[in-house]
Amino acid sequence: MTSDRSLALRRSIPGTALFDGELAERGFQLNAMCFSFNEAANRKAFLADEDAYCAKFALTPEQRKAVADRDVPAMLRAGGNVYYLAKLAGIFGLNVQDLGALQTGRPLQEFKDYLVSQRAGIDPAIAGLHVSREIA
Amino acid sequence: MMAEIVGAYFTSHVPAIGGAIARGDQHNEYWKPFFDGFPSVRRWLAEVKPDVAVVFSNDHGLNFFLDAMPTFAVGAAKSYANEDEGWGLPVYKSFEGHPALSWHVIEELVGSEFDITTCQKMLVDHAVSIPFELAWPDAAEWPVKIVPIAINTVQFPVPSPKRCLALGRAVGRALRSWQGNERIVVIGTGGLSHQLEGERAGFMNPDYDKFCLDHLAADPDALTQHSVEEVAQLAGTQGIEILNWIAARGALGDVPLAEVTRNYHIPISNTAACTLVLEPA
């Protein structure tokens, strides 16, 4: 059995909601639309007529608004999963660093600097390249 | 005549690596510390000359969707294609499968009471292709056949580290009982700590990564003390891809291992990156 402590963690890690059955059920239509963006023709159809494309996947009003607003935190609250949402972001030329900046409310460069700053936390014992057996 | 497990190759697999390769950025200031980890991996592969790779990875919404999400899926196809994943990566070369070995692994797993999904058709995404691009960058075709094993890291409940280690150990038993003369490399992809979504996006944890690296070879059971939710807390939501490493480590069996090469670097994209080769001591 998953322990009560672990189940509680699904919703209690700060700034994080683990994507479980509740979110997967809530987000099915939005994620299904994003999954369709694996195909270039579908990406094109979305760009050509966003309303019609979203209607085809029967997005909930909450999901439709989140997509219209390009509001990533709202997409997550509406059950979007980041692996699928990244395909939607790709349509707009956004990568996961752009998404990180959008979700944390930091300018992109500040978010990138935050990522680089975490290098300072590495124990020197594991930092960088260690070749234990040289092969010619 | 018995198959031989030559060792294991582990590496991060984030799509941004594919972008860096496509742009030829391997030697720039940002990417060089990561790509510097691979010449020693390539020399090792050239020395141990594997014929087959058993690859533990997670699909990111290319082959599997939420309509049918297997916890563990084992490929049993003659070939595995990569396709457009929607975020601008090039489509990578296809892989030749090894159906006979796949079915042997499947028999052992189900015989050991792992209720897996079997896939005679299966696309593989960047989690398989990028580690191969890194290992064999100039290959016209891949020099090994593959048996891909996908672990669900998308939708909770996700299998526990303990279960993934046990799965890997069962795969290892299958490989050691295979009556072929293949040289088999085990590959575990993904990780290490990173988180893409939510207000905690950008989270990494070099201390947890160090814990994993300190114990993976000699005491992998130490990594099973955490539930997968605890791993998400420690490693970030995508850091649970360490499950692929744990399963791959299990497949090496409980034998003394030696580290050949290791590279740990922060960050590539949003990720604490690591590359590691272990071989029987």
For residue A105, being part of any structural domain is answered with: no
Chain A contacts of B263, Cβ < 8 Å? Answer: 128-130
Residue A59 lies in a domain: yes
| Domain-embedded: residue B195 | yes
Q: Please check whether residue B93 lies inside any domain of the structure.
A: yes
Residue B185 pLDDT > 70: yes
pLDDT for position A2 = 84
Q: How does residue B2 score in pLDDT terms, banded at 50, 70 and 90?
A: confident
Instruction: Specify the CATH number for the domain of residue A86.
Output: 1.10.700.10
Tokens at residue B65, please? 């969707």
pLDDT tens per residue across span B150-172: 999 999 999 999 999 999 999 99
Copy the structure tokens of residue B269.
């994209």
Domain total in chain A: 1
Disruptive mutation site among A44, A123, A129, A134 for chain B (greatest number of B CBs within 10 Å): A129
- Domain membership of residue B275 (yes or no) is no
Q: Do A19 and B154 touch (CB under 8 A)?
A: yes
The verdict on residue A87 lying in a domain is yes
The pLDDT value given to residue A83:
95
Residue B276 within a domain: no
- Backbone torsions φ then ψ of B43, nearest 5 degrees: -65, -40
Q: Which domain holds residue A53?
A: 18-94
Q: Is the dihedral of CA A88, A23, B117, B234 positive or negative?
A: positive
- Give residue B79's domain range: 4-257
Instruction: Give bridge partners of residue B263 from the DSSP assignment.
Output: A129, B275
Instruction: Please give the DSSP secondary-structure letter assigned to residue A7.
Output: H
In this prediction, residues B131-155 reach a mean pLDDT of 98
Of the partner residues A10, A86, A129, the one whose CB lies closest to the CB of residue B263: A129
Which whole-number Å values give the CA distances from B50 to B3, B147, B207, in the listed order?
Answer: 11, 13, 33
> For each of chain A's 136 residues, which pLDDT tens digit applies?
789 999 999 999 999 999 999 999 999 999 999 999 999 999 999 999 999 999 999 999 999 999 999 999 999 999 999 999 999 999 999 999 999 999 999 999 999 999 999 999 999 999 999 999 999 8
Q: Which distant-in-sequence residues (6+ apart) come within 8 Å of A135 by Cβ?
A: B40, B43, B44, B46, B47, B260
CB-closest option in A38, A99, A122 to B84: A38
Domain count of the fold of chain B: 1
B276 residue type, one letter? L
- Check if the beta carbon of residue A100 is closer than 8 Å to that of residue B201: yes
Whether the complex's predicted ipTM surpasses the cut of 0.95: yes
CATH number of domain containing B246 = 3.40.830.10
Whether residue B1 is predicted with pLDDT greater than 90 in this model: the reply is no
Residue B273 resides in a domain: no
Is A100–B200 a contact, with Cβ atoms under 8 angstroms apart? no
Are B202 and A131 inside 8 Å of each other by CB? no
SS3 content of chain B, % helix, strand, coil (to 5): 35, 20, 40
Residue type, A11: R
C-alpha B152: how far from chain center? 12
pLDDT at A128: 97
From the list B194, B215, B226, B265, the catalytic residue is: B194
Report the alpha-carbon distance of residue B91 to residue B105 in Å, rounded. Answer: 28
